Amino acid sequence: MKKLIDMIAEELMQAFEANGYEGKYGMVTLSNRPDLCQYQCNGALAAAKSYKKAPIMIADEVIASVKDSKSFEKIEAILPGFINLTLNTGYIAKYLNEMSREEQYGCEKSAAPKTIVIDYGGPNVAKPLHVGHLRSAVIGESIKRISRFLGHNVIGDVHLGDWGLQMGLIIMELKKRHPDLVYFDENYTGEYPKEAPFTISELEEIYPAANEYSKAHPEFKEEAKNATYMLQNGTRGYAALWNHILNVSVTDLKKNYDNLNVSFDLWKKESDAQTYIPDMIAYLKENNYTRISEGALVVDVKEETDTKEIPPCMILKSDGATLYNTTDLATMVERMKLFHPDAITSIVDKRQELYFETVFRCAKKTKLVGEKVKLTFLGFGTMNGKDGKPFKTRDGGVMRLENLIQGINDEVYKKIMENREMPEEEAKSISRKVGLAALKYGDLSNQASKDYIFDIDRFISFEGNTGPYILYTIVRIKSILNKYREISGGDLNSKGTIVSSTLPGEISLMLEVSKFNDVVEHSYEENAPHKICQYIYDIANAFNSFYHENKIIAQEDKVKQRSWISLITLIQGILETCIYLLGFDAPDRM
């Protein structure tokens, strides 16, 4: 379905052309004076320069050409040459009726679907998820859903951090604690046990302990380095142990991501990329992309237009070891080989921006990634506490994601249970839904690159620009529709009965709703879920004022009532689709 704004622009473009001007001047934008008009066209001002004519004259000519159009209620030229547009409400109503009948409310799937790999996890093996991983997961899940909604083939990859010294540290710590485990017996040739010799809580305690210990004991660190080397070179017992570590970790991570309504298509690990490294390095050398700098192998990625210092991309350290860069490059090689993507989007803390810039440039310059492939770094800001510093637990530690979520759900639960009774099970389930909406909306309503303050009281409030407010609005609509169904016995399925209106509140509500396809497309193009948040917040506000001004159930004019019911049915569908795109859903009551 065409966007409403484009339909209006087409009419104006034709009008410009009919008067001998270039059509491009007919571009239309949302009005920045909604009190005066709904849309505006500033093209006459621009055309005036090229055609050496007074802008107001051009505007008048254009308006004369569209005066018979049924689309406009009012169209006027304002000095020095603005064209202010107000739509005919019948025209908006017709558009909304069509939206109700269309698949996806008129938001069409792309005619040229792209294959997009999105990297939005980055958790590390044997370490619990913490708030640092929250934003990547929440933003990535939403961008994945939005892209799929528009018909793209999206592959979500968790990109698990499982490479490096941490592996050896955990293995050596286990050996220190349980030297008798069969995994450490070099002469053992039998099968290893299927059960892991530790639980997730042990595992999570082992890594920090090993890390601490290695700082004070250099010989332990050496052993860990050696164990890492042995593991990477196929030592059987270590490999079996490593598999246990992975499995226990991944099971726990999946549970946590599930609670966030976040999922991945791929559970690829940094270690999976390692097999691509030798050939990749040989290729880079053969094609003379590399040089040696102080013993290290690097690729220069500076460009003449740079305004800041861009360091070379290091491929091998002077001791021949690979680094984070090498793994990320090899991961791109792997993704190109396995999926032939049109685009790869990495959703990572914005503090890694320069690093990604270097790696992306290197991938492009060396043609490891084809020219046409779009590499995007979507860097997100920090979630801060009320003190403006990165969010911490009360005693200053790193907050586990699990505990953060539990804390929010508990607060919501208290709130829901204030002055009312509800079965325990239901209250718990509602709290989880509302809690998740509070957390995700609190995050997504900000532009991703900005820092924001985690303010639990504000996030869980049922009023203001919050997730619970949106859910509350949906629940309110559901309850009106239920009541209507009860008293009228009417079926709500007949679509397309929205009629024109003279109520300003209803007209602005209709106008907000009509922007759906435009908003979703922009949020896709700009990787900007916050645009969907803004859209549904505007609708929720417009709906709630409309609701307070009008008695829907008691309305006696049946045509009007039926129109309102159709309108709010459409709104319910759109709000629910939007929160799905953001990654949460609404309860039946709250």
Site residues for ligand ARG per CB under 6 A: 119, 122, 124, 159, 161, 328, 346, 348
In 3D space, the residue among 527, 549, 161 whose CA is nearest the CA of residue 379 turns out to be: 527
Q: Is 360 exposed, middle or buried (0-12, 13-18, 19+ CB in 10 A)?
A: buried
Three-point CA angle 144, 146, 151, nearest 5°: 95
- Residues 365 and 262: their CA atoms lie apart, in Å, by 34
Q: How far apart are CA 85 and CA 175, in angstroms?
A: 75
Closest CA to 559 of 93, 26, 82, 76: 93
Q: How far apart, in whole angstroms, are the C-alpha atoms of residue 259 and residue 252? A: 11
Please, are residues 584 and 467 in contact by the beta-carbon 8 Å criterion? Answer: yes
Looking up tokens 């979630």, which residue turns up?
383
Using CA atoms of 218, 222, 223, 224 in order, give the dihedral in degrees to the nearest 10. Answer: 100
How far apart (Å, rounded) are the C-alpha atoms in residues 456 and 541? Answer: 22
Q: Which amino acid is at 65?
A: S
Torsion of CA 348, 353, 359, 362, to 10 degrees: 140
Backbone CA torsion sign across 285, 290, 293, 298: negative
User: Rounded to 10 degrees, what is the CA torsion of 64, 67, 69, 72?
Assistant: 120
Query: Going by DSSP bridges, is the β-strand pair 290-293/383-384 parallel, antiparallel, or unpaired?
Result: unpaired
Query: Which among 194, 272, 268 has a CA at the least distance from the CA of 232?
Result: 272
Q: How far apart are CA 172 and CA 214, in angstroms?
A: 10
Q: Alpha helix locations (H) across 260-323?
A: 270-273, 277-286
> What's the Cα-to-Cα distance from 190 to each of 4, 195, 235, 321, 523, rounded to whole Å?
70, 15, 14, 33, 55
DSSP secondary structure, 472-538, as one string: HHHHHHHHHHHHHHHHH---S-----------HHHHHHHHHHTTHHHHHHHHHHTT-HHHHHHHHHH
How far apart CA 140 and CA 377 sit, in angstroms, is: 12
Q: Could you give the angle at which helices 4-18 and 55-66 cross, rounded to 10 degrees? A: 110
Alpha carbons 153 and 444: distance in angstroms, whole number:
23
